[in-house]
Structure 1
Amino acid sequence: MSALLKLYPAAYRREFGDEIADAYHEATRGAGTPARVREGADVAGHALRMRLGLGSAGRPGRLLAALAPFALVAVGAAASSWAGVMRNVFLVVPLDGIGPGFVGLVAAYLAMVCGVFLALAGRWAAGSWTVLAGAVVVLAAGAVRMGLASIGFSALTTGPMLVLALVAVACPPDLRPAPRVRTRAGVLAVMAWTLVLTSAVMLLPLVYPSTQLRFVVPVAAGLLLAGRHAFARLRTAPAVLLAGLPFLYFGAMPGTLLPLALTVLLLLLLVAAVVVSVRRRRGARDPLVGG
């Protein structure tokens, strides 16, 4: 525990260190290894947020919380799209020509999709850390399979996924989206539905419009699961733009969205930003409207 406490800023550690240590020991007393790892990850994440000034009381922390669900949905859609591309390799390459690096790549993409929907269903910590772990594995598997030549490619694909996964992990716990599914049976149903959905879009042929569906279907399903509460947190034009840009970025990847679809998405994003900005200004002028 002392190592975890050292992650905090010195002033914060002096003031709240004993309280944090007591809470950790109380939460892990008699608990198994998974519980200890989970609590340790929560403490480490909290320490990181304190060092970066991303607490729930500050504006950066609130912005992070507003962007987190959309960041996860974008990552899930991109992972689903890439998993579909990887699936086609199995059709043209003999099984003995597929190495462990490639298998790890596909498994990591699928784990990321499952992690996204697990987080959106209500198990935020487990889901977001799964997405982050999957992004790290994708980065490592790509390096093993393609060597140094993959650095530039990974910077364009896995790099943004890694950043967006960190956004979700760094979301302040007290600002995480409210659980959409509160029972274990409900969460299992969501995960089963996710596996069916992912398998269905992966089996689509690598031709238009099927390649678009591999991206669009997970986006629609993820936003539906995130719900209206996620959209209600986008209260400024910059927040709207930052939430939408990852979809534009991943949608612009080769074989994903057509230029017309990207243009329509960009226009919708700009219109939404303008509408939010106008409503915010009207609310600032009229307290009754803003309240």
Structure 2
Amino acid sequence: MIDHLLRLYPAAYRRAHGAEIAATYRELTAGEPLGPRLRDAAELAGHALRLRAGLGPGTAAARMLGAAYPLVLAASAAACGLHLLRWYAAVAASPAPLGVQLRSDLSGVWGVLLLSSLLVFAGAAAALAGRWRAGVPCTVAGLLAFATAAVASGPALGDPVAGPAAAVLAAAALLGCPPDRRTEALAAGRAGTAGVAVALVLVPRAAVAAHAVPWISTDYGCWPPLVLAAAAAVTAWRNGAGGGASRGGDSQGTGSRGTGSRGARELAALALASPLLLAQAGTVAWGDPTALAVLATVLTAALAAVPLAGRLGRARR
């Protein structure tokens, strides 16, 4: 197997490190069951493909994906959590027996949509908790299954193009992020910010669905992107205040020692993470001029707030 995996690496890298990679792989997998061997092979294949795509750990693209990693997980969990929340609210409001509803909802494409949403939510939660070896594959598999089912369902789940495309983009961002960048992002405390963002998206929406807030019936899809933008702004502020810690851009900063973040990387991370939530918002707001105006205002504010937060963090230093 290792000989086939080595062919995935760029030729120059394979000549320089192929023998070492093969020896390490054989040593680590000797006597191991099939499951762990396949997992190690998948990680090795991912490493090779990232190098072919120019996503080595020290590249600017890899640093941007590392900044986006917690936000993409948060957006994935929030988007699929909203799907599950809407489904549960519909089940709770329906007079039909629970068993009848479950048999209907869990069959065919709708069953795939619900189960894939659950898989994404659980996988993203696990990844944010630090268990990315299991969490990222679950999240990616759920996103791809959701995208396939959403295309198959047609307009029944909103736009059959924008939503699936956003799910595929999120899956690609998670797969493209090098493992050391994932660990670095979580060690920097951004997992907590992402987790709070997921809660701030879902809890108010659950309260609205339960009619616990009588003067609000809908947010027109604008609340989740606003929360994600706030999480990016908080991250930019913290990174700006904390500054860089290593040379070559390997820290959370801008790439020079002690300069702190200017917010550009966090803004790029927000742009990569937000399409999942924006696709939902566009479906809800489409055709309503007021909702579209509010959504446009939210996006404009986010474009200004994230770099401003980075500059304020730098000034605070």
TM-score range normalised by the length of the shorter chain: 0.7 to 0.9
Which of residues 253, 271, 275 is equivalent to 2:282? 253
1:22 aligns with 2:23: yes
Distance 2:56 2:67 in 1: 13
- 1:153 Cα offset (Å): 2.5
What is the aligned counterpart of 1:244 among 246, 259, 270?
A: 270
Once the two structures are overlaid, the 10-residue window that deviates more, 44-53 or 197-206, is 197-206
- In angstroms, what is the RMSD of aligned CA positions? 4.2
Q: 1:276 aligns with which of 301, 307, 310?
A: 310
1:196-207 equivalence runs, <5 A:
205=209
Kept in 2: contact 1:121–1:179 (CA 8 A) = no
- In the alignment, the residues of structure 2 paired with residue 31 and residue 150 of structure 1 have an alpha-carbon distance, to the nearest angstrom, of 46
1:139 to 133, 140, 147: 147
- Structure 1, unmatched stretches of 5+, are 182-190, 284-288
Judge conservation of contact 1:66–1:230 (CA < 8 Å) in 2. no
Identity over the aligned pairs, expressed in percent? 28
* Paired AA for residue 4 in structure 2: A
Once the two structures are superposed, the pairs formed by residues 87-126 of structure 1 within 5 Å of their partners are 87-88=88-89, 90=91, 95=101, 97-98=104-105, 99-126=107-134
- Compute the TM-score of the two structures, normalised by the length of structure 2: 0.67
Name the CA shift for 1:106/1:265 in 2 (closer, same or farther; >3 Å).
same
The answer as to whether partners of 1:122 and 1:179 remain within 8 angstroms in 2 is: no
Contact 1:83-1:106 at 8 Å conserved across structures: yes
CA distance in 2, matches of 1:142, 1:29: 42
- Alpha-carbon distance between aligned partners in 2 of 1:211 and 1:128, rounded to the nearest angstrom: 32
Spell out, residue by residue over 1:7-26, the C-alpha distance to the aligned partner (whole angstroms, 9 max, x if none).
Answer: 11111111111111122122
CA contact (8 A) 1:61 1:171 kept: yes
SS of the residue corresponding to residue 143 of structure 2 reads helix
- Normalising by structure 1, what TM-score? 0.72
Change (3 A) 1:151 1:97: closer
Kept in 1, the 8 Å contact 2:83–2:117? The answer is yes
Contact residue 70 and residue 244 of structure 1 kept, 8 A? yes
Q: Contact between 1:82 and 1:109, CA under 8 Å: does it hold in 2?
A: yes
1:1-291 matches, cutoff 5 A: 1-88=2-89, 90=91, 95=101, 97-98=104-105, 99-144=107-152, 146=153, 153-178=159-184, 205=209, 209=216, 212=219, 216=224, 232=239, 233=252, 235-245=261-271, 246-247=273-274, 249-250=278-279, 252-255=281-284, 260=294, 263-264=297-298, 266-276=300-310
User: Structure 2: which 5+ residue stretches go unaligned?
Assistant: 188-194, 240-251, 254-260
Rounded to whole Å, the distance in 2 between the matches of 1:155 and 1:44 is: 29
